[in-house]
Amino acid sequence: MARLQSRRIDVLPPGTPKERGAILQDAMRKALKDTEMQREFLKLVGEEVEPMMPEELTKMIRETPRDPEIIDLLKIFTGAGPLPVR
């Protein structure tokens, strides 16, 4: 049986004022730690919330290799086209 995976990453565009980014990060942090939101998520999705906090996401983005092959692969995953063949 296939398992539903719910993943969402929110990234702000370059040039977004740091104050706005901080406001959004704080709001996401509060929402992801909210027990009522976690209960509702479990009810709707059928799995526990496994949040990636803003600091973890920022670190992951900064550490992502910038090789042309990796960039092309990321473009495929974030675009509307079909996924590459396995």
Rounded Cα–Cα distance for residues 83 and 86 (Å): 9
Q: What is the pTM of this model?
A: 0.55
Tell which residue, 34, 23, 76, 52, has the closest CA to residue 12.
23
Q: What would the pLDDT profile of 35-81 be if each residue is shown by its tens digit?
A: 999 999 899 888 888 877 778 888 888 888 888 888 888 788 777 66
More confident residue, 43 or 3: 43
